[in-house]
Amino acid sequence: MQEHIDLLIPSSEERTFNLKEAYAYCERVTRRHYENFPVASFLLPGEKRRHLYSIYAFARGADDLADEGNIPAVERIVHLTQWQQLLDQSYAGKSSHPVFVALGQTVRELDIPKEYFSALLAAFRQDVIKQRYETFDELIEYCKNSANPVGRIVLHIFGYRDENLYRYSDFICTGLQLANFWQDLEIDLAKNRIYIPLEDMVRFDYNEGELTAKRATPEFRRLMQLQIERTRALFSAGYRLTQLVGKDLRTELRLTWFGGIKILEKIEQMDYNVFGRRPRLHLWDVPGLIIHALSRRSPSMKRRTVHAG
């Protein structure tokens, strides 16, 4: 971790990277991290992929600064402030760090507003200082910074500047963020983070002590069923976006959408017990997802009845 942090916070003696080197660096960062949902996949035009690499490397670096290792919270905030300063410099055309050399070129070519990247950094700072969410609405507000800017940035990369498309994108991105919360519930719990709304835990008579003890009680299953249903509803509300974008983005977007839905299905197949085994996509899931992504058929949004035992 410390080696990675040293790369993210460059010293005054670090050399300047040219554009080719900077984009290659961002591509290595992207390919080093496996994600549930495709990042700059082979389905996208090559020229678009380099921009996605720079954006992913920016977000990956910020995530590492906010989330990895045993660095004190105060120091994490300092590092994220430095990351913001590097972002500001990149928009001013004064970058030397490879991530921001590439990102600076990307935002200049595509005219991407800095507010999207600043919003992402605000969410990472929030992760450092906030570990609980009282209501689902409060969690949705967090996703407005943590997830939705990513979808809007991707739309910018492909030349879309439409508020209606942004709205559908926000639904999908919030759904992806929530799906990630539910699959990573145990991982986040180890970091003393709980994204399940506390008022829902009270509603289902399930407490933090039981969650810490990783008890998959009937109450917990009903609690998780509610979160999955809410998340699936968001995906459903955003699906229209996959029908409105051009073919250069449509298949990748559908692949991402079906990947998110597949995670929800896996959680249901586990009877909502995400303790001990993380629901995730496997290589054998990919062919089916690609077939769905290439199909023109609209998906059926299946619901599952929770097991009460």
**Residue 288, pLDDT score:** 61
**Residue 295, pLDDT score:** 58
Q: What is the pLDDT along the chain (309 residues), one digit of tens a residue?
A: 444 544 555 544 456 788 899 999 998 888 876 554 444 455 566 778 899 999 999 999 999 898 866 788 999 999 999 999 999 999 998 888 999 999 999 999 999 999 999 999 999 999 999 999 999 999 999 999 999 999 999 999 999 999 999 999 999 999 999 999 999 999 999 999 999 999 999 999 999 999 999 999 999 999 999 999 999 999 999 999 999 999 888 888 888 898 899 899 999 999 999 998 887 665 545 546 455 545 566 666 555 444 433
Domain residue extents for the chain? 1-129, 131-309
| Cα dist from 221 to 199, 226, 271, whole Å | 16, 9, 7
**Residue 250, pLDDT score:** 86
Burial 233-259 (b: 16+ CB within 10 A, else e): ebbebbbebbeebeeebbbbbbbbbbb
Identify the architecture of domain 131-309 in CATH. Answer: Orthogonal Bundle (1.10)
Q: Decide: 203 and 137 in contact? Cβ < 8 Å.
A: no
Same CATH topology for 1-129 and 131-309: the answer is yes
Task: Reduce the DSSP state of residue 184 to 3 states and report it.
Answer: coil
CATH (residue range 1-129): 1.10.600.10
Q: Decide: 240 and 162 in contact? Cβ < 8 Å.
A: no
Q: Decide: 10 and 89 in contact? Cβ < 8 Å.
A: no
